[in-house]
């Protein structure tokens, strides 16, 4: 993950990287109890979105154990003003508690595709990387 930014707290670790100029991937491991890591992630995403017309965002939250209300609310509220610059937003999850939080955010953001299988998630990232900015369209199920 060349150029990855990493933030670590007692509750977990967040990484953010860009496999292409218009593709953002975050990976979180642990429990996102408070808004501190959510704030750091959103600050980095907002900075990228300010310089890119349309981005594809992939949250690898398979190892996230908890997506607390404070963190979810902060991420959702800060995503609303930049939604026009987000081409796609997808989440890989492993916890039903995390799915519930993502589902609540999805209502406010107009739909967030979710993945439960890493292979399909990583395939979607590859397709986004290979697409021109704004041209990636998530179609499930993904075909090879």
Q: What are the domain boundaries of the chain? A: 5-130
Does residue 122 carry a pLDDT above 80? yes
The answer to whether 51 and 82 have CB atoms below 8 angstroms apart is no
Burial class (CB in 10 A: 0-12, 13-18, 19+), 123: middle
What is the Cα–Cα distance from 128 to 14, expressed in whole angstroms?
21
Over the stretch 17-62, which tens digit does the pLDDT of each residue have? 999 999 999 999 998 877 888 999 999 999 999 998 899 999 999 9
Over the stretch 75-101, which tens digit does the pLDDT of each residue have? 999 999 999 999 999 999 999 888 888
pLDDT range class, residue 141, cuts 50, 70, 90 = low
What's the CA dihedral at 120, 122, 126, 127 to 10 degrees?
30
Q: Three-class SS of residue 86? A: strand
pTM for the whole structure? 0.91
What is the Cα–Cα distance from 138 to 128, expressed in whole angstroms?
9
DSSP state of 134: T
**CATH code at 5-130:** 3.30.750.24
Does residue 142 carry a pLDDT above 80? no
Cβ neighbours of residue 40 closer than 8 Å, sequence gap 6 or more: 7, 14
The answer to whether 128 and 65 have CB atoms below 8 angstroms apart is no
């Amino acid at each position: 993950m060349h150029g990855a930014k990493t933030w670590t707290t007692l509750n977990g670790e967040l990484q953010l990287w860009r496999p292409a100029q218009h593709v953002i991937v975050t990976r979180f491991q642990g429990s996102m109890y408070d808004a501190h890591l959510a704030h750091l992630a959103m600050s980095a995403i907002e900075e990228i979105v300010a310089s890119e017309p349309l981005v594809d965002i992939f949250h690898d939250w398979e190892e996230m154990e908890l997506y607390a209300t404070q963190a979810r609310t902060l991420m959702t509220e800060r995503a609303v003003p930049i939604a026009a610059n987000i081409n796609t937003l997808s989440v890989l999850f492993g916890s039903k508690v995390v799915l519930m939080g993502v589902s609540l955010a999805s209502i406010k953001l107009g739909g967030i595709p979710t993945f439960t299988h890493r292979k399909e998630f990583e395939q979607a990232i590859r397709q986004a990387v290979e697409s021109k900015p704004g041209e990636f369209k998530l179609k499930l199920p993904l075909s090879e």
